[in-house]
Homo-oligomer: A and B are copies of this chain.
Amino acid sequence: MSDEKLPTRSENFSEWYNQIVLKSELADYAPVRGCMVIRPYGWTLWENIQAALDRRFKDTGHVNAAFPLLIPMSFLEKEKAHVEGFSPELAVVTIGGGETLEEPLIVRPTSETIIGYMYSKWVKSWRDLPILINQWGNVVRWEMRTKLFLRTLEFYWQEGHTAHSSEQEAREETLRMLDVYADFAINEAAVPVIKGVKSETEKFAGAVMSTTIEAMMGDTRALQSGTSHFLGQNFAKAFNIQYSDQKNELQHAWTTSWGLSTRFIGAIIMTHGDDQGLILPPRLAPIQVVIVPIFKSAADKSAVLDVTERVAQDLKSASIRLKVDYREEVNPGFKYNDWEMRGVPLRIEIGPKDVEKKSVVLARRDKPGKEGKSFVSQDILSATVIEMLATIQTSMLERATAFRDSHIHDPKDFAELAEVVQNGWALSWWCEKKECESKVKDETKASTRCFPLDQNSGEGKCIVCGQPAKRKVYFARSY
């Protein structure tokens, strides 16, 4: 950990974020502009995210596969909106094995095209549908303004690609996977996301409809944290994904795609972190509990380490992800700061007095100072720890939800909208015309985030132009 002081969140949120990522050793800058190295602590967090999502994908009938990294340039051109959206961002391989390639290959920015091509080979009859495949992998998009986890040239994600025999089934799949993402975000990451539909301007290049989970970060900016797209027959027509239906007539399939990336790690950092560093939700934290043994004399050391070993064994048997900090070259205060920076949800302190009293000190990461400290008997420790981790998880979600709700506004007019989006989100009627969306963006830097799914049908007046509007939309500045 470097000694440079962490800026507070209110001083400089962006720099606070960058420093947190580096100091907690989640990630580091790579030697290629805009690329990152995800360090073991960050990758273990990603592995826990992967496990939580993968379990949900498999429970909803999906299987994993792997499609190639390199895609012929001509594939992208088969879907008009898709190529327009992605061509400015491509990394292109022009040389292979020392020779200039006849057709350049792109490093996949997303895989609808190559997967569409393969599905057209595999699908013949209605019996071959649905195909419910997910892929865990890396993609490359040549971003100009990059930020660790949030926007990097290469990032890691999963991309699900499904093909169905009916529009309704594909639309249901789109929303099913949005629900999976929301369930994961809320119940595993304690990130209270809002489910909604993207505007025409903001939708995925090639989609009929894009849905999203949007999260509010600690500076009130919105982060698109996962998306699920209904692609209609756009890619099925571009790649001839056709099947014989039960009447033996040839039909185009209906497809979806959905993705969640290492960007989500950014969501966790900026939802929960405080001026001391990361705060990780217990269900995803690489280390749930750190034990710091405290001693000065050799006699104390032996007694304290005996208890430490025993306690560690107990907690490990209870499947708690545990680290004991045995370092002797640094003092306990340094260790506290170090593990607070890394966001470990619960710290256990064991000193000579604790040995005597057959107790330990528990210190919650989410409640600094005395409020978060308690003394617990060594006998009932693992049950207490499990309960406390669950309490921390709940409490983190409650705090983030309260923060979000207190920063969602219902402005009465455009002037008030312009004001509230400087420190929050606006939920307002919008007529769905692009001019009004652009006006908000140009004058306030806020974009439309989503039409929340959870809204009553009704009618109001557009917050921008006053014309009739059928749906409310969230306006917010975003990452």
Contact = CB atoms under 8 A, between A and B. Distances in A.
Given A70-B154, A140-B70, A142-B97, A31 B117 contact: yes
A67 B92 CA distance: 20
A341 interface: no
A97 B90 contact: yes
A64 B40 contact: yes
A332 interface: no
Given A69-B138, A117-B31, A47 B64 contact: yes
B133 A40 contact: yes
Given A31-B117, A32-B72, A127-B329, A37 B66 contact: yes
Number of copies of chain A assembled together = 2
Interface string A122-138: 10000100000100011
Nearest to A329: B127
A156 B306 CA distance: 44
A336 B32 CA distance: 53
A301 interface: no
Interface string A28-72: 101110011111101110110000000000000001111111111
Contact of A68 (B35, B46, B121): B35
Contacts of A46: 66
User: Secondary structure of the A side of the interface?
Assistant: mixed
Given A64-B40, A68-B35, A154-B70, A89 B93 contact: no
Nearest to A127: B329
A64 B43 contact: yes
Interface string A94-113: 11111000001101000000
A391 to B, nearest CB: 29
B138 A138 contact: yes
A118 interface: yes
A144 B64 contact: no
A36 B68 contact: yes
26 contacts: A28-B118, A28-B121, A30-B67, A30-B114, A31-B72, A37-B65, A37-B67, A37-B118, A39-B65, A42-B65, A43-B63, A66-B156, A69-B107, A69-B138, A70-B140, A87-B98, A88-B97, A90-B95, A90-B96, A90-B98, A91-B95, A92-B96, A93-B94, A93-B107, A94-B94, A97-B144
Given A31-B114, A40-B64, A70-B153, 14 more contacts: A28-B121, A30-B67, A32-B70, A35-B68, A36-B68, A40-B65, A44-B64, A46-B66, A66-B156, A69-B138, A69-B154, A89-B97, A93-B107, A127-B329
